[in-house]
Chains A and B, each alone.
Chain A
Amino acid sequence: MKLILKIWRQRLPKEKGKFETYFIENVSRDMTFLEMMDSLNEKLIQEDKDPVAFDHDCREGICGCCSMVINGRPHGPGTEITTCQLNMKAFKDGDTIVVEPWRVKSFPVIKDLIVDRSAFEKIMAAGGFVNADVGSAPDANSIKIPKDKSDEAFDAAACIGCGACVAACKNSSAMLFVAAKVSQFALLPQGKTEGLKRAWDMVMKMDELGFGSCTNTGDCEAECPQGISLTHIARLNREFIRAGFHKAAAENK
């Protein structure tokens, strides 16, 4: 296949970026999208040009590094896949493909297609954990958890932290990301003790970092590589509202 690639190039965070156009030949339909990018970079190196910088690591859809908007969609065409799992079979000879980084104010571009997702790290540090000191845990089977609850917690916990949900959202909201963590622990007895504080602190941190509000559009769910459901956002909202009442009650005491 021959392809025309329009790729976002930006050398430094503060420099202005722009789209560059590249023509690439001999693209095999068996390649993954990132392997196509590898071969583009080989070509750029041969032409004494700076290769396109992009985050990638495990190349099997689980590390959450890859973060490209391809033809307007985070992780490109297809459902429940990451960019590294996107196959060139999804394109045809002569196609023009537009490749951009996540377009989110809270994820500033570092270089080319690489963005700074440290805002997610800050949200996690605000409460994305269970307070369980090492060495103080009871026997694992002393905590019984119904299978359906446990399975649902797993579905939420499967989040890979890539940020596609934010990139897909017209408001750049991080609600699905936050909901996945809050919901996982809200479903489990281990996470209950500090459950309300978690929901409150993580949402407050998310707002503070400039992520937008949720308007229930559902683009996040549609683009999530792990298929994380909007129902977790509903659970987050319940937890958050309850946290608000508890806070108000505590302050009125």
Chain B
Amino acid sequence: MTVLNSKIPDGPLSEKWTNHKNSLKLVSPANKKKLDIIMIGTGVAGAAAAASLGEMGYNVKVFCYQDSPRRAHSVAAQGGINAAKNYRNDNDSVYRLFYDMIKGGDFRAREANVYRDAEVSNAVIDQLVAQGVPFAREYGGDLTTRSFGGVQVSRTFYAQGQTGQQVLLGSYNALKRQEAKGTVKMYPRRQMLEIVKIDGKARGIVCRNLINGEIERYSAHAVVLASGGYGTIYFLSTLAVNSSGAAAYAAYKKGAFFANPSFIQIHPSCIPQLNDYQSKLTLMSESLRNDGRVWVPKGKGDKRHPNEISAEERDYYLERRYPAFGNLVPRDIASRAAKERCDAGFGVGETGYAVYLDFSDAIKAQGKKTIKNKYGNLFDLYNKITGEDPYTQPMKIYPAGHYTMGGLWVDYNLMTTVPGLYAIGEANFSDHGANRLGASSLMQGSCDGYFILPYTIGDYLADEINTGKISTDTTEFDLAEKEVKNKIDNLMSIKGNTSAHTFHKKLGKIMWDYCGMARNENGLLKGLEEVTKLEEEFYKDLKITGDTKTINQSLERALRLAASFEISRLLIRDALNRKESCGAHFREEYQTPEGEALRNDEDYSYVAVWEYTGDGKEPKLHKEQLVFENVKVTQRSYK
């Protein structure tokens, strides 16, 4: 018997959202003014939601750790944003976008949520264009699109390789507009450290003011987490170095269940690690695979310059293995295929852990100018980092940690298992299954932020109109503040010899080696042991210098890292539990003879939902069975 109620509405798939919206309670304009909402995070989802809620008349308090909401890591999304507009007349539809996402996610996502995203996606593009987001256009003045992995239509809207920046700035501008109107109040440079619950409901937060170290309390009638993913457990990833799952994990410890933590996307095309000092990996957008061809030499250990290797001596392994989708297979498949070639000794570059992404054929066919127009800033970025010119020689790429499909469990209203606590965007789990398709994170974040949460949150807040202002002068806030202060004092007083930075690097290596692109039982058990050992060492040997009354970035990092250890262990537990391969979760024991992921629908067609039961105790597993009424569940094939 499960305690989970996903609240998926009855009725045909295409009518669920409409019917559900009609049944949601409303809050009148006069009452909205009486209600406070806290938003944690200002990426595409958080900024869009905060602006929309402010516009509706709620009082929104917005928190971010950066100095400005415009810096949230959505800003780095490159390739694009999907919508089922069918502007290309290529027979696209809401159903096809839905089906592509369900299949791309290897049948581990919730049908109703995915369909809703696809349904709402068109309104998102309309909204963004109305805000002045400068998407790429045809000469005739219409919006143009490109294609992404795992689909056979062209439905991705883009702004060169800076789509995330432009989409984020659209919502940031909207946020600024609400700030001017006084409906939104910004609290930048804050680190959220504790969720406060009163009578079982989320009622506020405790955070650290990063400038003066003050521990601050804020109350609200509902709290929304838009705090992103936890991919920095790998240390090296495409994420911002200060991103983490710490806020989501704080919610987990307060009773919000965590779903599918082991589903982490490893993006196939990143600039490979160049040296040991490296602090981050840079993404090369998937959109490049529209025109770039992926290959390695046919001969093992061929050290010649790529331009000296003739077409016959090249193995275009994605085109060879997946002729129907070619270079545009989904990310999990492209990543594993690259790993397979490199592990087999065909990799290129100094370490042998890289493959080529080659534009020479595209430049020949379309001309340098056209390619420059499509990808100019990405080519420049690559050139700045590597010193090599992708117009004249192929890029070298290799997979890297990128996006977490897993996250806080939410029902159809995007509410977690804590009443009044919501999770949107990458922070929740519901829409991407075991693998996210390209250009659908900006889509999901925008759908959640502009059009879904603003409606569903009203259903909860309608019962709060008589609550009145919530005081922060309560025992619950006292207790939460005390916990936070203890935690900080504890970390500051260890006075060992090793910096948080060094610990983070070590954690990253363990997670990448034992719980990265390929996993097996022995490795996972070993990883679990090593993470636990490292965590013990962390609490004995951490060294933080400086004080707590001014900016202390080592302390900030240590606080995030403390959560990362625990998330890593939860992640490994989840990976151990799921004795099948699906999407990005590849258990080496479970694969087809061709090396593809082998699902076990009989036993694992469920969302693994973990409940925190106390420090040092095993988390409790709940299962949300996945029901597929509208698609035929098949072995995923891109051949």
Interface residues of A (CB under 8 A from B): 11-12, 28, 30-32, 34-35, 38-39, 41-42, 44-46, 48-51, 53, 55-65, 80-81, 85, 87, 89, 110-112, 114, 116-118, 120-121, 124-126, 128-141, 143-147, 150-151, 153-154, 157-158, 160-161, 184-185, 188, 190-191
Contacts and interface: CB of A to CB of B under 8 A. Distances in A.
28 contacts: A38-B279, A46-B497, A58-B75, A58-B76, A58-B240, A58-B280, A61-B381, A62-B165, A63-B240, A85-B384, A121-B68, A124-B172, A126-B180, A128-B173, A129-B176, A134-B127, A135-B123, A137-B126, A137-B130, A138-B126, A140-B85, A141-B142, A143-B130, A144-B141, A145-B141, A146-B141, A154-B134, A154-B160
Contact of B134 (A59, A111, A188): A188
Given A45-B543, A116-B67, A190-B132, A129 B123 contact: no
Given A31-B275, A124-B176, A137-B126, A63 B132 contact: no
A221 B233 CA distance: 38
Contacts of A112: 551
The interface size bin for chain B is 35 or more
Interface in B124-146: 125-143
Interface centre among A42, A137, A188 (most CB of B within 10 A): A137
A35 B280 CA distance: 10
B111 to A, nearest CB: 25
A194 to B, nearest CB: 10
A161 B177 contact: no
Interface in B480-529: 497, 499, 501-502
B546 A65 contact: no
B377 to A, nearest CB: 8
B502 A129 contact: no
B177, B387, B450, B554: most-surrounded residue (chain A CB, <10 A)? B177
B73 A144 contact: no
B467 interface: no
A166 B347 CA distance: 46
B275 A57 contact: no
B164 to A, nearest CB: 8
B130 A130 contact: yes
B277 A35 contact: yes
A248 to B, nearest CB: 25
A128 B172 CA distance: 10
Contacts of A153: 132, 134
A137 B450 CA distance: 12
Contact of B71 (A53, A64, A147): A64
B143 A141 contact: yes
A138 B130 contact: yes
B166 interface: yes
A32 B278 CA distance: 8
Contacts of A131: 177
A188 B277 contact: no
A120 B159 CA distance: 24
B506 to A, nearest CB: 14
Nearest to B129: A140
Given A55-B67, A158-B165, A161-B68, A42 B499 contact: yes
A190 B129 contact: yes
A47 to B, nearest CB: 8
B553 interface: yes
Contact of B499 (A35, A45, A49, A87): A45
A57 B173 contact: no
Contacts of A143: 129-130
Interface string B260-304: 000000000000001101111011000000000000000000000
A118 B1 CA distance: 52
Given A55-B67, A58-B76, A185-B132, 5 more contacts: A30-B274, A60-B381, A61-B381, A121-B68, A161-B71
B563 interface: no
B130 A184 contact: no
Contacts of A58: 71, 73, 75-76, 240-241, 280
B254 interface: no
A161 B132 CA distance: 17
Contact of A191 (B132, B384, B501): B132
B66 interface: yes
Contacts of A110: 211, 551
A87 B551 CA distance: 26
A158 B546 CA distance: 36
A132 B129 CA distance: 10
Contact of B141 (A48, A51, A147): A147
Contacts of B123: 135, 137
Nearest to A55: B67
B66 to A, nearest CB: 6
Contacts of A38: 277, 279, 501
Contacts of A49: 545
B637 to A, nearest CB: 33
A132 B127 contact: yes
Contacts of A144: 140-142
Contacts of B497: 46
A132 B126 CA distance: 10
Given A60-B282, A125-B180, A154-B134, A111 B551 contact: yes
Nearest to A52: B553
A191 B51 CA distance: 18
A225 to B, nearest CB: 10
B71 A121 contact: no
Contacts of B142: 141, 144
A110 to B, nearest CB: 6
B426 interface: no
B143 A140 contact: yes
B535 interface: no
A134 B134 contact: no
Interface centre among B137, B174, B282, B381 (most CB of A within 10 A): B137
Interface in B544-583: 544-547, 550-554
Instruction: Name the residue among B166, B174, B499, B551 with the largest chain A CB count within 10 angstroms.
Output: B551
A60 B76 contact: yes
A144 B550 CA distance: 51
Contact of B277 (A39, A117, A146): A39
Given A45-B545, A49-B545, A28 B275 contact: yes
A50 B132 CA distance: 44
Contacts of B218: none
Contacts of A191: 132
B601 interface: no
